[in-house]
Amino acid sequence: MSYKNDFKAFSISNNANVVSQRLYEESKDLLTGFPPNDVPSHLLNKVLRQSSSISSVLADFISTQSGEDVLDDGDIAKLTAQLNRALERKTITKIPDASLTQKGVVQLTNVIGNSDTLAVTQKLAQEIVNSLREDINSSKANDIPVGTPIPWPTAIPPTGWFQCNGAVFDKSKFPKLAEAYPDGKLPDLRGEFIRGWDDRRGVDVGRGVLSWQGDAIRNITASVTGRTVNVSGRIFSGKVSGAFSTSGEYGEYSAGDSRSMSAVGARDRLAELSFDASRTVPTANENRPRNVAFNYIVRAA
């Protein structure tokens, strides 16, 4: 759609009666103005053409960019407002793309997209960073199902988590936790190791999920064969190693003595063979591997 432009260029045809550009620039009237009653028409036409051409071009720019008619009605304020609107629209629609090599004004955007020529505003960049932080913080918690025990390095669980200490919880208040522990009681993992459920593999048969198991070791069996030695009265040799030890000659045998007896020569003598695992390995009142103590906690909701 074309808009009306009242400002027309004057004397612009090829054979227009205008002085040449060289003579125009050499004319003394260019600096002093025309004398009264003596104005050469071809020089005046040159002046009018230059000023009217600029006016026409500017008016055309205003009408094109503002989408309004530009009228020669003497309303300077209106023309000024139209020019400002035209410049604003030109700046918005024709501003150069962002460049990594060229300095200057670049177009900004506050909308997330895939353009490689628009520069992001500081506000949008901060919004993106904040959104990523929220997603990361949310995914960290949501990636761990409710009721999953995890080791925690301090005595106090973080907000929204319970210690696995065998405590009873409100199933109506924590329904998702109740799905993991239907009896409404947390597992007591204080001082305990977690073992993978056998699930018909045959390594730890007869176990159900969340079942507790006491400590145990594989059975240790041993036997020893000895002979009497007349000189020392020992039933066992003094050469022992590892967890075994011997007592040598153990003294006179008396009736009712519950210890083993061996006859040596004409006298009854006793000897003892002992087994003590602490002679070769660390021992305690439980069976355990090397470990580090953590506080087991579960996500409550």
CB 49 within 8 A of CB 10: yes
Give tens-digit pLDDT for 191-202: 999 999 999 999
Q: Which residue has the higher pLDDT, 179 or 235?
A: 179
**What string of H, E and C letters represents the secondary structure of the chain?**
CCCCECCCCCCCCCCCCCCCHHHHHHCCHHHHCCCCCCCCHHHHHHHHHHHHHHHHHHHHHHHHHHCCCECCCCCHHHHHHHHHHHHHHHHHHHCCCCCCCCCCCCCEECCCCCCCCCEECHHHHHHHHHHHHHHHHHHHHHCCCCCCEEEECCCCCCCCEEECECCECCCCCCHHHHHHCCCCECCECCCCCCCCCCCCCCCCCCCCCCCCCCCCCCCCCCCCCCCCCCCCCCCCCCCCCCCEEECCCCCECCCCCCCCCEEECCEEECCCEEECHHHCCCCCCCCCCCCCCCEEEEECC
What is the pLDDT confidence band of residue 256, given thresholds at 50, 70 and 90?
very low
Task: Write down the pLDDT at residue 254.
Answer: 38
Task: Quickly state the pLDDT bin for 135 (edges 50, 70, 90).
Answer: confident
Q: Rounded distance, CA 227 to CA 225, Å? A: 7
Task: State yes or no: pLDDT of 266 exceeds 80.
Answer: no
Mean pLDDT highest for which of 5-9, 122-126, 152-156, 253-257? 152-156
What pTM was computed for the model?
0.45
Residue 233 clears pLDDT 60, i.e. is over it: no
Under the banding of pLDDT at 50, 70 and 90, the label for residue 250 is very low
> How would you label 9-43 residue by residue, b for 16+ Cβ within 10 Å and e otherwise?
bbbeeeeeebbeeeebeebeeeeeeeeeeeeeeeb
Q: 136-165 b/e with 16+ CB inside 10 Å = b?
A: eeeeeeeeeebbeeeebeeeebeeebbbbe
Q: What whole-number distance in Å separates Cα of residue 30 and Cα of residue 45?
A: 13
- Predicted confidence at residue 58, as pLDDT, reads 92
As a whole number, the mean pLDDT across the chain is 80
Please give the average per-residue pLDDT across 279-293, as a whole number: 88
How far are the Cα atoms of 5, 154, 163, 176, 293 from residue 170, in angstroms, in the given order?
80, 24, 15, 11, 28
In the chain the domains, ranked by start, together with CATH numbers, are 21-94 (no CATH), 96-143 (no CATH), 145-200+226-253+260-301 (3.90.1340.10)
pLDDT above 70: percentage of residues in the chain: 72
Reported as a pLDDT band with limits 50, 70 and 90, residue 99 is: low
Tell me whether residue 50 is exposed, middle or buried, using C-beta atoms within 10 angstroms of its C-beta: 0 to 12, 13 to 18, 19 or more.
Answer: middle
| 65-89 pLDDT tens trace | 888 898 989 999 999 999 998 888 8
Q: Which amino acid is at 269?
A: R
Whether the predicted pLDDT of 60 surpasses 50: yes
> Residue 208 has what pLDDT?
92
